[in-house]
Each structure stands twice: as structure tokens, then as C-alpha cells.
């Protein structure tokens, strides 16, 4: 769509960011940690009705904190929120955070997906896993980030309207572009109740499977939901798509909250249904540079890169 004016770059090429991840493949859960060692203004937009999050109030434009030092995307639902404590411990040991008397206090936010119905339901990210993921972020220039069933994407699935036996395995996806000096990228863990659609063609590319699991079901998740509602009152759980927009644009928290909100349009273009009462759909937006840029331009690019990142997370 914008290929003639945009250059694709790596997510870590945005600069001033470290990304590390650890997963437990047996338990099918993990964490992905995005670290801004110098601190970075960060916004947040939560559209789902059931988020599992920590320190989300820091992104309120009325809150005093102007920057945060890390965002954790994790599995384990609310149980996995302990991982942020491990990230804090690692950062404090390495003099990252606000100096308060003799100690350093890093500000670490976290959002989690519900992955307890795949793998082991009694194993989830903890302080040790968060610490290890933070350490991985500093192993080299780009940490150990990679797309796929890694980090918080280890236990991600989509198309769960008929239960776990009929869903599609997904994971993490990322995509980043450059327009002149401006860089904008997205990381997303796609873990949705609904189906996933290619934003360019409108074709359904992942979601609820047929009975033998060989191909996508003839009826979409939305059609199945409506049919189920006519016969009973279903309870749809085990959802939540979480992501982050990274940019080198110089934006404050208020503008970053707007960028995150525009990136949610990428969710809506690719995931159906989305933002239900049982989802925790959340998007962070983090400013990592000082390139002067229009907020709406950044938001438009955030929408675009989020769509492509979702596509890559399922392919």
C-alpha cells in the first residue's frame, strides 16, 4: 500500500531500545521485554474489557512520570504479572531507573495474554523469567528478539470460538518502516478469539479450523458466534492481543496515547471480532528519539505497521 514511499527496516533499527525474550516451550508461555535504558515517554490505549496489566496508570497523561524504562509483554494472564519484578531487579542492578536515595527505581509496565488453556495451566512467567529476558536484551545490539512462537507469543492462538481443539497456533510478529528520518515499528502478540484477515486482500488467513484441523472452517468466527448466541448464552474467554508501537518521533505521553489509539485500527482491520468484553486488547506506544514528526503521520504509519505485524504473527 505504501511500499513505493516506505523502506522496510528491522524493529531494532529504530534505535535506543533493547529487546529480550524467554519462553518455556513445554508450558507454552513466555515474556518479551522492551527496554529503553534512558527512559522513554510511553502511551497506552486499552480497548478490551478484561486486561491483565501492571502500572498502566503511569501512561495516563495526568500521571507525574514522564518516562518509563521497560514494557513487558507476557503470558500467564494475571498470574504472569510477577515477571515485571524480575525486570525491575535486573535494571536496578545495572543502574537503570530513577535515583531515589541509595536505590534506583525503574518504571516497568506490563500487559499479559491469556495462554493458560494451552500447555500447562499452572506454569506462567515469574520474576526469574522476567530477569532472564531483561538480561537477554543486553546480550548484543539487538537482543535476542525474533518473530514466531517465542517470548510472549509462545502460547498464543486465534480462532477460539469453538474451543482450543479448533484454534490456530500463532505467535509474535513485528514490522518496521522508515519515511525520511522517521521510523515507526510494531511488535504484536496475536492471541484472539476471532479470525485473522489479510489487511491487503481481505482474505481470512487464520482462525477457527474445521473438525479435522486441516483448513479454516467454512463459517467464520463471527458467523459462529451469532449462531451460538441464538441457541445459548456462550462465555467467550481466553483472549487478548497485546502490542507496542516503537518510533523515533519526539512525542509526549498525550500524543503517544493518540498514536496507540490509531494503531488499534490495525487490530480492527485484521481481527474479527475484536475488543470484546473478555479481551484485554492493549497497545503501548513508545518514543525513542527526537525526530520532529506530525502525530497523525506517526499514527497512520502505526496503523500500517501493526497490520503487517499481525499478518506476520500468524504466518
When pLDDT is cut at 50, 70 and 90, the band that residue 291 belongs to is very high
Could you tell me the pTM of the whole model? 0.96
Share of the chain above pLDDT 70, in %: 97
Is residue 177 very low, low, confident or very high in pLDDT (cuts 50, 70, 90)?
very high
Which three three-digit cell numbers place residue 136? 537477554
53-83 per-position pLDDT tens digit: 999 999 999 999 999 999 999 999 999 999 9
Residues 6+ apart with CB under 8 A from 41: 66, 67, 251, 252, 253, 256, 286, 287
Per-residue pLDDT averaged across 139-159, rounded?
93
200-204, 226-230, 280-284, 285-289: segment of lowest average pLDDT: 226-230
Domains plus CATH for the chain?
Answer: 7-314 (3.60.70.12)
pLDDT tens digits, residue range 178-202?
999 999 999 999 999 999 999 999 9
**Average pLDDT for 15-37:** 97
Instruction: Indicate the DSSP class of residue 148.
Output: B
pLDDT at 226: 85
Is the pLDDT at 86 greater than 70, yes or no? yes
Per-residue pLDDT tens digits for 252-281: 999 999 999 999 999 999 999 999 887 889
Measured CA to CA, the distance from residue 269 to residue 52 in angstroms comes to 23
Cα 194 to Cα 224: distance, rounded to the nearest angstrom: 10
Q: What is the pLDDT of residue 234?
A: 63
Q: Is 80 exceeded by the pLDDT of residue 130? A: yes
Amino acid at each position: 500500500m505504501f511500499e513505493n514511499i516506505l523502506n522496510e527496516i528491522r524493529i531494532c533499527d529504530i534505535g535506543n531500545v533493547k529487546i529480550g525474550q524467554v519462553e518455556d516451550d513445554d508450558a507454552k508461555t513466555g515474556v518479551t521485554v522492551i527496554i529503553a535504558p534512558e527512559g522513554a515517554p510511553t502511551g497506552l490505549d486499552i480497548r478490551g474489557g478484561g486486561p491483565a496489566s501492571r502500572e498502566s496508570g503511569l501512561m495516563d497523561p495526568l500521571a507525574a512520570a514522564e518516562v518509563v524504562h521497560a514494557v513487558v509483554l507476557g503470558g500467564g494472564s494475571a498470574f504472569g504479572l510477577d515477571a515485571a519484578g524480575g525486570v525491575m531487579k535486573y535494571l536496578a542492578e545495572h543502574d537503570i531507573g530513577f535515583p531515589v536515595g541509595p536505590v534506583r527505581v525503574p518504571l516497568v509496565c506490563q500487559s499479559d495474554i491469556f495462554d493458560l488453556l494451552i500447555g500447562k495451566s499452572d506454569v506462567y512467567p515469574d520474576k526469574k523469567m522476567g530477569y532472564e529476558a531483561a538480561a537477554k536484551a543486553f546480550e548484543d545490539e539487538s537482543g535476542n528478539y525474533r518473530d514466531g512462537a517465542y517470548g510472549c507469543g509462545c502460547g498464543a492462538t486465534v480462532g477460539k470460538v469453538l474451543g482450543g481443539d479448533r484454534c490456530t497456533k500463532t505467535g509474535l510478529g513485528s514490522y518496521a518502516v522508515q519515511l525520511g528520518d522517521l521510523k515507526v515499528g510494531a511488535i504484536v502478540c496475536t492471541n484472539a478469539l476471532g479470525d485473522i484477515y489479510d489487511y491487503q486482500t481481505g482474505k481470512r488467513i487464520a482462525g477457527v479450523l474445521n473438525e479435522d484441523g486441516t483448513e479454516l472452517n467454512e463459517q467464520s468466527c463471527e458467523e459462529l458466534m451469532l449462531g451460538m448466541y441464538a441457541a445459548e448464552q456462550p462465555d467467550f474467554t481466553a483472549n487478548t492481543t497485546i502490542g507496542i508501537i516503537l518510533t523515533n518521533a519526539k512525542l509526549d505521553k498525550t500524543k503517544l496515547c493518540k498514536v496507540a489509539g490509531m494503531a488499534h485500527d490495525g487490530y480492527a482491520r485484521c481481527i474479527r471480532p475484536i475488543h470484546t468484553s473478555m479481551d484485554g486488547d492493549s497497545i503501548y506506544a513508545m518514543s525513542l528519539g527526537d525526530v520532529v514528526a506530525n502525530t497523525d503521520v506517526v499514527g497512520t504509519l502505526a496503523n500500517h505497521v501493526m497490520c503487517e505485524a499481525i499478518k506476520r504473527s500468524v504466518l
